[in-house]
Amino acid sequence: MNRRLRDAAVDADEAEVHLLVEEAGEVLGAVTADGDSTPVVVVPADLTFAEFADSDAVTLLDLGARFVALAEAGRPIGLVPVETIGAYLAGGDYAARPTTMSGPHGGNADGSLHGDPQVGVARVRCAHPGCGHVNTLTFFDPDRPPPCANPALPPHPLAIG
């Protein structure tokens, strides 16, 4: 099933959320109707549920994002609630792609470049005391948070608040 994320999108008013967007159009996060801030994963609007689930961008949901923002020409055009993505993954229509290459020549028979193209980002404000730097992430492992990219402070792990 090639259902597109766009088909499940709602607008910010319907989701009762305010997107925090820079002048250039980059989504920094969101504030919900109850005043909670939440990171937002931003992906291309034409992505399918399966393409998202098979990409590194799915790891960004571990940041506590409640929404995936769909972007077209660098601007947000809709939101997909994380619950909708969870329902798709649990619904039985999705089968994870194999993690190994098959065939008589293994990886040598692969006709494409290694790795996935970057399909999603999340911008996360570091919660380390005195920091507040906005970091751009394309992958997230909660057991091994990346270092914060703030050049004005000594190196420290990215603190998710």
pLDDT one-digit tens code per residue, 46-90 = 999 999 998 999 999 999 998 899 999 888 999 999 999 999 888
Q: How far is residue 41's CA from residue 37's CA, in Å, rounded to a whole number?
A: 13
Please tell me the distance from the alpha carbon of residue 65 to that of residue 118, in angstroms, as a whole number. Answer: 18
Q: Which of 35-39, 110-114, 118-122 has the lowest mean pLDDT?
A: 110-114
User: What are the distances in angstroms from CA 4 to CA 1, 52, 84, 85, 134?
Assistant: 9, 10, 12, 11, 29
Q: CA torsion 104→106→112→114, rounded to 10°?
A: 180
Per the structure block, which two tokens stand in for 97? 């792609």
**What pLDDT sits at residue 152?**
96
CA distance 36 to 42: 19
Domains of the chain: 5-96+117-137 (3.10.580)
pTM for the full predicted model? 0.82
Q: Given CA atoms 80, 127, 138, 153 in this order, what sign does their dihedral have?
A: positive
Contact between 17 and 45 under an 8 Å Cβ cutoff? The reply is no
pLDDT band (50, 70, 90) for residue 158:
very high
CB 30 within 8 A of CB 40: yes
